[in-house]
Amino acid sequence: MPQMLIGGELADASGGKTIEVRNPATGDVVDSIPRGTTAEVDAAVAAARKALPAWSALAPTKRAQLMHQAAERMKAAVPEIARILSQEQGKPLAHAVLEASRVSENLEYYAGLADKIRGDYVPLDDPAKIGFTIRRPVGVVAAITPWNFPLTLMANKICPALAAGCTVVLKPASTTPLATQRAIEVINGAGFPAGVLNTLHGSGAEIGDALVRHPGVNKVAFTGQTETGKRIMQLAAENVTRVTLELGGSDPMIVCDDADIRRASAAAAIGRFFNAGQACLAVKRVYLFRGIAEEFTAKIADRAAKEWKTGNGLAEGTKMGPLHTEAQRAEVEAQVTDAVGRGARVLAGAKRPEGKDFERGWFMEATVLADVPEDSRMATEEVFGPAMPLFIVDDLDEAIAKANSSVYGLGSSIWTRDLAKARRAAEGIEAGYTWVNDIQVAYDQLPFGGAKQSGFGKEHGLEALEGYLEKKSVVLGTG
Ligand code: NDP
């Protein structure tokens, strides 16, 4: 059974309790993990605090070297870790391989920045004084991650944190701790000093809460639901702990009447059905110009029905795994039922696949709905599963207004050959990202983060590193 990593040692929970991790495709137990308590929270934070002075003072090139070595180790471990990820999360093995590979890419990107952190020289009016700024790591980081992309979202936090000279206490989702724990052990094996990287496993409500409100934590980097993010923000206020919140989304896609419908429909299908729709950046609302609505609708319904083969993540040819939990599937089914009850038309899916292979897992077919009412749950809530609502609009003003009608503002996209339309969308949509004629994929080099209730603070790019550093002003009197 995997354990927690605290102060360089593998540890069990003091209460001796464990949590079973199940495969969403079969219900079988994949493995168990210790159910940590507040005693382990205290121990992990103490270990991270103890390691902080030496780690933050280490030569930046040494930090970079360790991260490059960790990246090499992670590359070699991809096959092993991807298999664990597929089993505990449900995603197809090929997609788990992509995700596991992202960890070494992220390590390398931030390793390259570790020795490029610097301050400014600032001339002051008084010639006898010199002003400058220095950059200090924020300190101990609590990284809390969800179950949909456990490895990517872990790497998004620990890589810039390590490069900045911070130490980390990581708490993955309690339903997907296994691949993360293994990845951290592999990374840590590169030779990080004890206490630089620590893991805790257990219930978010218990140890997650205790970690966020711990006075020894200087920053919380969180990805998860908006409701959990609100709670974390409240708890963090107790000690004025810094927070980065990457929360829910309901990304709009606008397809104009001059769009390339073949490419737009392919991007919509990948955007909605990849990871069984359980992605923050998924295409969650599609606004079609009336002139192309019929053509787009036929293409997307066809793609949903024919291209998104559902199955066990480890089975050959599976393109879409099950939903991650029974509750998650029940939620998406209820959202679909609500829309259909209010008059939406089912163009594809809206049911569970039948057959022996699907009896024990949380499977759902790729679903497309037309005539979805604007006040239905699929329009107003985040739909975290493989169900796509289509809406029709008459012009770009209406499309942008409807795109902005959500409380969320994470990603967005527009398909058009008209640069003026693309520019209006890029400037007018309230979101952290707009893709023009391109698939919704986040890039290491570009800052990623939400607007409105999708959160604040950035992951990726130089901006993520900034989030783990504080700028300090220094005045040097030379008189
Ligand atoms: P949750 O908010 O339920 O959980 C996320 C993490 O927070 C888990 O590790 C969970 O632990 C922990 N947690 C739960 N309660 C607390 C608490 N009170 N204090 C501290 N930690 C707590 O999110 P999901 O796992 O359901 O993830 C799906 C959500 O994540 C979706 O809304 C999705 O849009 C969003 N997301 C956002 C992204 C972005 O970048 N903006 C990217 C990916 C996903 P436990 O598992 O033990 O409950």
What digits encode the pLDDT tens for the residues 31-59?
A: 999 999 999 999 999 999 999 999 999 99
Map out the domains of the chain as residue ranges: 4-247+454-477, 251-443
Question: Which CATH class, in words, describes the domain spanning 251-443?
Answer: alpha beta
User: Residue 3 has what DSSP assignment?
Assistant: -
CA of 431 to the centre of ligand 1 (A): 20
Ligand 1 site, residue 150, Cβ cutoff 6 A: no
CA of 226 to the centre of ligand 1 (A): 8
pLDDT of residue 479: 81
Which numbered atom of ligand 1 lies nearest the CA of 226?
A: 32
Evaluated on CA atoms 408, 276, 173, 111, the torsion sign reads negative
User: Residue 192 has what DSSP assignment?
Assistant: P
Of 406, 445, 405, 403, give the one whose Cα is nearest residue 421.
403
Helix axes 60-89, 93-111, angle to 10 degrees: 170
Which two three-digit tokens encode residue 58? Answer: 């280490």
Chain position carrying tokens 């749950």: 377
**Residue 65, phi then psi, degrees to nearest 5:** -60, -45
Residue of the CA atom closest to atom 28 of ligand 1: 224
Q: Is 108 a catalytic residue?
A: no
CA of 295 to the centre of ligand 1 (A): 37
Q: Which of 280, 331, 365, 382 is catalytic?
A: 280
pLDDT of residue 15: 85
- 4-247+454-477 folds as Aldehyde Dehydrogenase; Chain A, domain 1 (3.40.605)
Whole-Å CA distances, 62 to 49, 364, 379: 20, 48, 50
Q: CATH topology of 4-247+454-477 equal to that of 251-443?
A: no
Give the residue ranges of the chain where pLDDT is below 70: none
For residues 153 and 143, is the Cβ–Cβ distance under 8 A? no
Q: Is 159 a catalytic residue?
A: no
Give CA–CA dist 100/419, Å, rounded.
Answer: 36
Which numbered atom of ligand 1 lies nearest the CA of 455?
A: 41
